[in-house]
């Protein structure tokens, strides 16, 4: 083999290596870009919303909760219980990974964790007071077709509720349709289904219903329904422990 032939062969191997490596990098970059677009379409940067959560049990019984929720930026969420009457006036606050529950007539707010649930049922606190997915996860594209893209989401830190997510995205709307949540062991913890696309006005078009089931809780189902989502700006003071008792003043 001549020197020129050897050089051409080595050059060919070099470019072959590039074609193997580059798609992986592009897939990760494109995955994170797509995930941020999903976040933007799912939750405005600053808003108020009214939500109902319905917990269904195997015996057919149900329990319902109604909340007033406010969010600012990518790491501030506060929520006020409106019903049932036994829970009215309670409030929760999330700042990044930190969460608190305020109970009227109890001294100071109580620290709570992401995997606990302030309402019982299949939704946990991380689901109910969720931050943007791109805040907590790095995304890689697993599969893509004309209709949908499937993302693999890996937690950025150990404090995130789920170690891994598998997310289905509708390509036409760039909207999440399904999320499977996994523990570090690879065990499927729960599945979230995003349904009933609704135009809430001011450019907010998103699923109005989220249903969740879990193989760990056979026969149980929890449903979250958004009845209103309105763009609104809030001062940082709203997202403090001292303000939890006053959240109702915002309505």
- Whether residue 218 lies inside any domain: the answer is yes
Counting the structural domains of the chain, the total is 1
Q: Is the pLDDT of residue 15 over 60?
A: no
pTM: 0.87
Q: For residue 113, give its domain range.
A: 38-250
- Whether residue 32 lies inside any domain: the answer is no
Q: Which residue has the tokens 């989401």?
A: 153
- Whether residue 24 lies inside any domain: the answer is no
Q: How many CA atoms, within 13 angstroms, populate the side-chain half-sphere of residue 221?
A: 11
- Whether residue 47 lies inside any domain: the answer is yes
Identify the H or E element spanning 24: helix 3-42
Q: Is the pLDDT of residue 34 over 90?
A: yes
Which of the four pLDDT bands, split at 50, 70 and 90, describes residue 107?
Answer: confident
CB 81 within 8 A of CB 67: yes
- Whether residue 69 lies inside any domain: the answer is yes
Token readout for 76 is 């501030």
pLDDT digits (tens, 9 = 90+) for 124-153: 999 999 999 999 999 999 999 999 999 999
Percent of the chain topping pLDDT 70: 90
Which residues on neighbouring strands pair with residue 193, listed in sequence order? 178, 211
- Whether residue 11 lies inside any domain: the answer is no
Which of the four pLDDT bands, split at 50, 70 and 90, describes residue 8?
Answer: very low
**Domain CATH code at residue 99:** 2.50.20.10
- Whether residue 2 lies inside any domain: the answer is no
- Whether residue 1 lies inside any domain: the answer is no
Mean pLDDT taken over the chain:
90
């Amino acid at each position: 083999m001549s020197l020129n032939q050897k050089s051409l062969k080595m050059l060919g191997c070099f470019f072959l290596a590039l074609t193997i490596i580059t798609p992986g990098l592009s897939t990760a970059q494109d995955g994170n870009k797509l995930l941020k677009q999903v976040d933007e379409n799912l939750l405005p940067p600053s808003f108020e919303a009214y939500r109902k959560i319905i917990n269904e049990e195997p015996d057919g019984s149900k329990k319902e909760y109604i909340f007033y929720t406010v969010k600012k930026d990518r790491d501030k969420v506060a929520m006020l219980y409106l019903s049932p009457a036994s829970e009215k006036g309670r409030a929760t606050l999330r700042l990044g990974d930190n969460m608190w529950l305020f109970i009227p007539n109890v001294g100071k707010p109580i620290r709570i964790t992401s995997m606990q649930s302030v309402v019982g049922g299949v939704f946990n606190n991380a689901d109910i007071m969720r931050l943007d997915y791109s805040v907590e996860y790095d995304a890689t594209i697993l599969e893509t077709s004309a209709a949908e893209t499937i993302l693999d989401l890996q937690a950025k830190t150990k404090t995130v509720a789920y170690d891994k997510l598998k997310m289905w995205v509708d390509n036409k709307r760039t909207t999440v349709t399904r999320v499977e949540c996994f523990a570090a062991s690879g065990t499927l913890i729960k599945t979230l289904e995003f349904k009933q696309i609704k135009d809430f006005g001011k450019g907010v078009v998103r699923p109005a219903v989220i249903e969740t089931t879990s193989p760990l809780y056979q026969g149980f189902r929890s449903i979250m329904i958004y009845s209103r989502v309105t763009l609104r700006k809030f001062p940082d003071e709203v997202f403090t422990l001292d303000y939890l008792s006053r959240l109702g003043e915002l309505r």
